[in-house]
A and B are shown apart, each in its own frame.
Chain A
Amino acid sequence: MAEGPLPAAPVLQLAGVRKAFNLGLPTEVEVLHGIDLTLRRGEFCALIGPSGSGKSTLLNLIGLLDRPTAGQLLIEGQDTGALEDAALTQLRGRSIGFVFQHHHLITAFTAAENVMMPLLLDRGWPGEAMRRVAESLLERVGLARWRDYPVNRLSGGQQQRVAIARALAMDPPLVLADEPTGNLDTKSADAAFDLMREFNRSRGTTFLIVTHDPRLARRCDRIIEVVDGRILSDAPVAALAAPAFPPAG
């Protein structure tokens, strides 16, 4: 019997991850109830679910911005549970890129400097190599001529493209995008989505995209649906028989 290609290495592994807030208080509430999830290198996944389902909490845990109450979270095979704050920050900076809904660029810096920022934070001092990385990425997102512009002089779509370039500056294995097209018009949203897709294919970067837009979700390879703090469904888009989104209204 012929063997298929080996599955790609896991970038992210969650096993029995739980998250509760107000621990020990009468108001204690658990919002994630044992999440098991694996993302492999090169995957392009959508994370969907209704408001309050725990998507953002899950994204914060995966982004190492918060710690789970229980369970195991591995980034490229490294268990993050025992890491000190400084080591966790370093791992986050080197392994995870972020794209936010409101792009969240640092307005005191130019477009190129914003793209350089993760490298600058990691190394401490600016360098020519960083500059080249930033310029190359800005060229890839079509903003080469805007590199020395203050970011607040760019349009919303341009700013989001800068944010995508910034998320890729450290060439991280995993990029988390929280509603990256939520504030953009359809054309800009498509452009931003296409960019992420292109980087996913050309670099093999794993993307996990939180979205409320069914159209964009269906353009991903895999859709993970979270409802009430649990993964309700997790399947390749091709395998989905019915729309993953409830009808509007």
Chain B
Amino acid sequence: MKRFLPFELIAALRFLREGRMQTAFILAGVTIGVAVIVFMSALLAGLQANFIKRVLTSQAHVMLLPPEEVARPQRGGEPGVVEDAVVQRPAQRLRSIDQWQAILGQLREMPEVRIASPVAAGSALAVRGEASRSVTVTGVEPETYFQVVRLPDNIAAGTPRLTSQDIIIGTELARLVGVEVGDRLRLSAASGRDAVLTVTALFDLGNKQVNERSVFVALRTAQSLLGLEGGVTSLEITVGDVWAAEVIAQAIRRLTGIRADSWISTNIQFFTAVNAQQMTNTLIRVFVGLSVALGIASVLVVSVVQRSREIGILRAMGARRGQVMRIFLIQGGVLGLLGSLSGSLLGAGAVIAWHSLARQADGSELFPLILQASLFLGAAVLAMLTGVLAAMAPALRAARLDPVVAIRG
């Protein structure tokens, strides 16, 4: 008998050891329950992180845009007279954000904003010889923009360099117009201006449309080509907390008075899917947790019935109600804790196995392996608490046993 352990813990461990079969079965139950929780959580965290990484490293978290042009029909005449008017929706010209440098300065002052980068974007034709393709020209400051959109992480060939004479294009466009790194490509804008630029790199963002339709040039080159000298069409922002993007967008709207769209509002379906996934995961955890709790409770209820005579003897020998209660609460906690340890190991093993088996068509990982210590710590604490709570009813029942009745059996 260990001298550093209190009586209740010693008795709880001995009772669990004596009822080996019951203990083994309930431990197996708790292990499987915790393993399911760990597996699901790690899998969903990995998939979610993958989605978020894909979505949020290829677009800004918040985008500031110039106000849309609205029709303003001339009104006049006498007060109180409403004139009938046919108002046509105006075409949206390429416009710059007014005072964008001042706004950019304000944005960079905000603690929630990590990076803010100006962008001048418009459409043009990429022409080489007889081949031409319509493209979206995005003029950027590479040192800031490449921290918003991780283009350098997706370079298939060349070096992502952008001077005023350079252009980065997608692999699909390169194939269609027949250029390689180092070749020259002409861009013709609708305004009639054009520029001949050197292809410094080819990117592959994993989307055929984007690889065909997008090109990146230096901000000044785009401004000149699109007739936006000194202007920008958007300010693109990366924030610290991606889930707070909408709140930050609203704050920016209030601060600057211009339109600010968050990734949440522009990807509402994706955001809804992520939320649904999280809710599903939470529900699975709750139901698995409940079944674990009921399993522990039922085993301990049986144990109390089986041990009622021993409980009566302990009470006769001077065991206080609290001591008896603690014996069963500790049993619940120990079952939860041991089950969570083995369940965490099993769950982690299953995730690792699944991660190595489930691959994309190109052999790359389907989802990143995310096994955080907090997941295991959380599972252990939660399982132990569940065990203690589940043991509450049997423990109370044991503590309330009348020793006379219990001894008589």
A residues at B contact (CB < 8 Å)? 60, 63, 65-66, 85-86, 89-90, 92-94, 98, 100, 104, 106-109, 113, 116-118, 120-122, 124-128, 166, 170
Size category, B interface: 20 to 34
B9: nearest chain-A partner, CB-CB: A125
6 tightest A-B CB contacts, nearest first:
A93-B318, A108-B14, A108-B18, A104-B313, A118-B317, A121-B318
Inter-subunit contact B3/A106 (CB<8 Å): no
Task: Given A65-B403, A109-B14, answer yes or no on A89-B1 (Cβ-Cβ < 8 Å).
Answer: no
Min CB distance, B108 to chain A, in Å?
63
Give CA–CA (A89, B6) in the complex, Å: 19
Give CA–CA (A104, B17) in the complex, Å: 19
Inter-subunit contact A121/B404 (CB<8 Å): no
Q: Which of B372-408 contact A (CB under 8 A)?
A: 403-404, 407
Min CB distance, A169 to chain B, in Å?
9
Inter-subunit contact A98/B316 (CB<8 Å): yes
Contacts of A60 in B (CB 8 A): 404
Min CB distance, B325 to chain A, in Å?
13
Inter-subunit contact A121/B317 (CB<8 Å): yes
Contacts of A63 in B (CB 8 A): 316
Partner of A92, one of B18, B309, B318, B404: B318
Q: Can you list 14 A-B pairs, Cβ within 8 angstroms, ordered by A?
A: A65-B315, A85-B321, A90-B320, A98-B316, A98-B317, A100-B313, A104-B310, A104-B313, A108-B11, A109-B14, A117-B314, A120-B7, A121-B323, A125-B3
Contacts of A113 in B (CB 8 A): 1
Contacts of B315 in A (CB 8 A): 65, 89
The yes or no answer to B270 lying at the interface (CB within 8 A) is no
Give CA–CA (A168, B2) in the complex, Å: 23
Inter-subunit contact A106/B319 (CB<8 Å): no
Inter-subunit contact B318/A122 (CB<8 Å): yes
Contacts of B14 in A (CB 8 A): 108-109
Contacts of B7 in A (CB 8 A): 120-121, 124-126
Inter-subunit contact B320/A125 (CB<8 Å): no
Contacts of A122 in B (CB 8 A): 318
B2: nearest chain-A partner, CB-CB: A126
Contacts of A166 in B (CB 8 A): 317
The yes or no answer to B352 lying at the interface (CB within 8 A) is no
Give CA–CA (A120, B320) in the complex, Å: 12
B18: nearest chain-A partner, CB-CB: A108
Inter-subunit contact B316/A121 (CB<8 Å): no
Give CA–CA (A113, B2) in the complex, Å: 11
Inter-subunit contact B3/A89 (CB<8 Å): no
Cβ contacts B133-165/A at 8 Å (1 or 0 each): 000000000000000000000000000000000
Contacts of A90 in B (CB 8 A): 318, 320
Give CA–CA (A158, B18) in the complex, Å: 21
Inter-subunit contact B404/A117 (CB<8 Å): no
Cβ contacts B10-54/A at 8 Å (1 or 0 each): 110011011000000000000000000000000000000000000
Min CB distance, B14 to chain A, in Å?
4
Give CA–CA (A222, B107) in the complex, Å: 99
Min CB distance, B409 to chain A, in Å?
9
Give CA–CA (A127, B4) in the complex, Å: 9
Give CA–CA (A108, B1) in the complex, Å: 12
Min CB distance, B408 to chain A, in Å?
8
Task: Given A65-B316, A108-B11, answer yes or no on A126-B1 (Cβ-Cβ < 8 Å).
Answer: yes
Give CA–CA (A102, B250) in the complex, Å: 78
Partner of A89, one of B5, B11, B313, B318: B318
Task: Given A108-B14, A108-B15, A126-B7, answer yes or no on A89-B404 (Cβ-Cβ < 8 Å).
Answer: no
Min CB distance, B288 to chain A, in Å?
31
Inter-subunit contact A118/B318 (CB<8 Å): yes
Task: Given A66-B404, A121-B323, A126-B2, answer yes or no on A106-B318 (Cβ-Cβ < 8 Å).
Answer: no
Contacts of A93 in B (CB 8 A): 317-319
Cβ contacts B232-247/A at 8 Å (1 or 0 each): 0000000000000000
A178: nearest chain-B partner, CB-CB: B407
Contacts of B323 in A (CB 8 A): 121
Inter-subunit contact B314/A126 (CB<8 Å): no
Partner of B320, one of A89, A94, A116, A128: A89
Min CB distance, B327 to chain A, in Å?
11
Inter-subunit contact A104/B309 (CB<8 Å): yes
Inter-subunit contact B404/A106 (CB<8 Å): no
Give CA–CA (A85, B407) in the complex, Å: 18
Min CB distance, B375 to chain A, in Å?
35
Contacts of B2 in A (CB 8 A): 126
Give CA–CA (A93, B316) in the complex, Å: 7
A61: nearest chain-B partner, CB-CB: B404
* 9 further contact pairs, Cβ within 8 A, besides A85-B321, A93-B318, A107-B310: A89-B318, A92-B318, A93-B317, A98-B313, A104-B407, A108-B17, A118-B317, A125-B3, A170-B318
Give CA–CA (A90, B313) in the complex, Å: 14
Min CB distance, A127 to chain B, in Å?
7
Give CA–CA (A127, B1) in the complex, Å: 9
Give CA–CA (A221, B10) in the complex, Å: 41
A152: nearest chain-B partner, CB-CB: B18
Give CA–CA (A85, B324) in the complex, Å: 14
B8: nearest chain-A partner, CB-CB: A124
B322: nearest chain-A partner, CB-CB: A86
Inter-subunit contact A124/B317 (CB<8 Å): no
Contacts of B321 in A (CB 8 A): 85-86, 89
Min CB distance, B307 to chain A, in Å?
9
Min CB distance, B285 to chain A, in Å?
34
Inter-subunit contact A94/B318 (CB<8 Å): yes
Contacts of B17 in A (CB 8 A): 108
Give CA–CA (A98, B10) in the complex, Å: 23
